[in-house]
Amino acid sequence: MNKVQKRTQIVVLKKEGFTNEHIADRAGVHKSTVKRVWKKYNTTGLIDDLKRSGRPQILSPRKKRLVTNTLKKGLAKTATGIQKELRLSQDLQISRQTVARTLNEQGYVSRVKSKKPLLSSKHIKARFKWAKSHENWEVEDWKNVVWSDETKFNLLNSDGKEYYWTNKPGILTPESVKPTLKYGGGSVMIWGCMTWEGLGFSCKIDGNMDGELYSEILNGELMQTYDYYNLDINTTIFQHDNDPKHKSKRATSTIQELGLKVLDWPSQSPDMNPIEHLWNHIDLELRKRSKQFSSKNELWEVLQDILKEKDASFCQKLISSMPKRVQDLKNARGGYTRW
DSSP of 80-117: HHHHHHHHHHH-----HHHHHHHHHHTT----PPPP--
What mean pLDDT do residues 182-198 have?
A: 84
Percent of the chain with pLDDT over 90: 54
- Do 189 and 224 touch, CB atoms closer than 8 A? no
State the chain's mean pLDDT as an integer: 87
Cα–Cα dist 72/59, whole Å? 18
pLDDT of residue 4: 80
pLDDT of residue 271: 94
Percent of the chain with pLDDT over 70: 87
Residue 155's H or E segment, with its range, is none
Cα–Cα dist 324/334, whole Å? 14
Is the pLDDT at 254 greater than 90? The verdict is yes
Cα–Cα dist 57/67, whole Å? 15
Listed in sequence order, the residues at least 6 apart from 181 whose beta carbon sits closer than 8 Å to its beta carbon are 155, 156, 292
pLDDT of residue 51: 60
How many Cα atoms within 13 Å fall on the side-chain side of residue 81? 11
At 186, is the pLDDT very low, low, confident or very high (cuts 50, 70, 90)? Answer: confident
Per-residue burial over 55-70, b if 16 or more Cβ lie within 10 Å, else e, is eeeebeeebbebbbeb
pTM beyond 0.85, yes or no: no
Q: C-alpha distances in angstroms, 195 versus 186, 246, 247? A: 30, 19, 22
Listed in sequence order, the residues at least 6 apart from 94 whose beta carbon sits closer than 8 Å to its beta carbon are 58, 59, 63, 83, 86, 87
What mean pLDDT do residues 44-54 have?
A: 69
Among candidate residues 96, 74, 98, the one with its CA nearest the CA of residue 83: 96
Q: End-to-end CA distance of the chain, in Å?
A: 54
Tens of pLDDT, residues 110-157: 776 667 888 999 999 999 999 999 999 999 999 999 999 999 998 875
At 226, is the pLDDT very low, low, confident or very high (cuts 50, 70, 90)? Answer: very high
